[in-house]
Structure 1
Amino acid sequence: MTTTILLGRMARHACKFASPVMLGAMTLGVGLHASAAYAADDYPNKPVKYLLHVSPGGGTDVLARRMATELEEILGQPFVVENRPGGQTGVQLAAITTAEPDGYTIGSTTATHVAVMNAVFDEYDVDSVDWLAGLVTDPPVLVVHDSVPFDSLEGLVEEVKANPGEYSVSGTVDGSTGHIAWAMFAEAAGITEEDVRYVPYDSQGDSVTANVGGHVPIGMAWTGITRDHVEAGNLRVLGVLSEDRVSAYPDTPTFAEAGYDVDSSWQQFRGIIGPKGIPDEVKAKLADALEQITQTDDYKEYIENSNLNNRFMGPEEFTEFVKRQNELVAEWVERLGLDE
């Protein structure tokens, strides 16, 4: 017996004893429950906006477009990808948080969101959105342009200390995954802000483009977005922020192996968020479709080729994961003075 039917019978039974006000409230409650159930059963019955906080071309953009295509096949409605970069994710967040919480507006998310919610925004925090699903994790890697005169982390440290102010490192916005990853390494290596200037970009694609062009000689990036450039000889990867070496760069040491004590639990992640208050039934339907995609052979092959870690998390697990990341971010935002 469904909950809606049971509630309907209870309401009819209570008619003999309830006041008109009570009857109205009970009828409204049954109606709202039935409407929510119907909305979930019918979802989606029109196109869904899929808003990205990054420019086209980066790893988050590529993954989102793949997921959008697969979601359309499973759920039968277009998932329309729109790039909304800018404002240190603020442009996208403004559009998501002001949208109706009905499942027809969703968005990309990475660890950068958690970081800027601590370091940049007063109006947004991790409770401002619904964390719908986690998809992958991706360890940060430290890369350099092929022209630099060092080929190891130790060489990098010696060079920048000997030439303070001559080198810069790129990553995503202040307080983002890349920024915090660099800050962790710099602290472990004894590198100061006077030694190396951090240059923030709105997207990882823009940051790596600056590295490939030699405009910023050092970069904190991700395995998937750097591999082709490394194979082409434009970039060299010196270290990986991970507990273990990654398959794409089996000869590249982790930071710990190279002698730098950096917390390897800090990882880039990619997932999906939505406006706060999406009905649980709609969340579940979206999450079920996403999990189906992550179990296909084609998707697993894509993840392997992209050197990502396939880690699906449903709404509850993803929310708890994000809260743990948020604690780590809050600590580093305070240490870096980004909340002042």
Structure 2
Amino acid sequence: MHLKPLREQVLVLTGATSGIGLVTARQAARRGARLSLAARSEEALAQLVEELRRDGCDAIYTVVDVGVEADVRRLAEATLRHFGGFDTWINNAAAAIYGNLEEVPLEDQRRLFETNFWGMVYGSLIACEHLRQRGGKLITIGSVLSERAIPVQGVYSASKAAVMGYTDALRMELEQERAPVSVTLIKPGAIDTPYQDHAANYTYRGVKNPPPVYAPETVARAIFHAAEHHEREIVVGGGGKAVTTLGNAAPRLADKVMGHLMPWLQHDRRRLSHTTQGALYTPSNTLEERGGYPLTFEHSLYSVLMRHRGKAAIALTLAGGTYYVLRRLAGAPRLRFPRPPR
């Protein structure tokens, strides 16, 4: 199966008016892609599409709550009517909650799963109905917390673990039936978006993402790479990869470290007198890319190396060969190791 260059693709993108989705929409437009955008706020969507059209992008929008299957199906139908089809579907919309599991109302936990898990399920199944006929790409934005749950964001971690399990199973089923659909799961670490402002908060404290924090552009670049290449998964941010590696290698140690550090790393000095529901039920009507973190990494070296593993291996091999040749030309003595006694 051949994946088209991004400039020749029609992209469907949910959660398009904030953070990762907003950055991805704007950068995809600059790269020549055509866009079918979805979010809950018609005001923000209309403003974004008008902006993109002024810059020459063929873009449309559909007001969608991804937790409602009929809304997601309307998004696909609107895309088919306008563009005749699509090449890449990106499940990006998500909700977040800060709070201990026993203190977060079950209604809110269920609402989060409707967005994060069921929204991904509806998008994936509806996208595959179309992509089976013409081939293409399904991209889902997960999280490094799918592998390593942390306290304070327990329900979010659980939803992303469910997203990973469903996406992995769907990929295997599609491969088994030889369907022309390539599936990639992208797992970002902490990203500088309005995430903490849009999250429900039951901690009575100001909240933030634990460092290191990366720019949303790092995830957008991973999305564009996935749209053109057959990648199983992409982790964005070396910090998140370090956490998941620790969790897989030493789970009990990770439990203790995360249990002590994460509540502290996710709170700031502000004290709140009430809980908030953020954008869990009501969307934000503004276009915001970033959350205002004071220290943000604009690039992730780990992610770059993972996207270009072949080139990185060749570069390392060439560097090692060059070093060896230069040492030989310089007359450096060869390393000799004593022979073992007979």
TM superposition score normalised by structure 1: 0.32
Higher relative contact order (CA 8 A, sep 6+): 1
- Structure whose residues are more often strand by fraction: 1
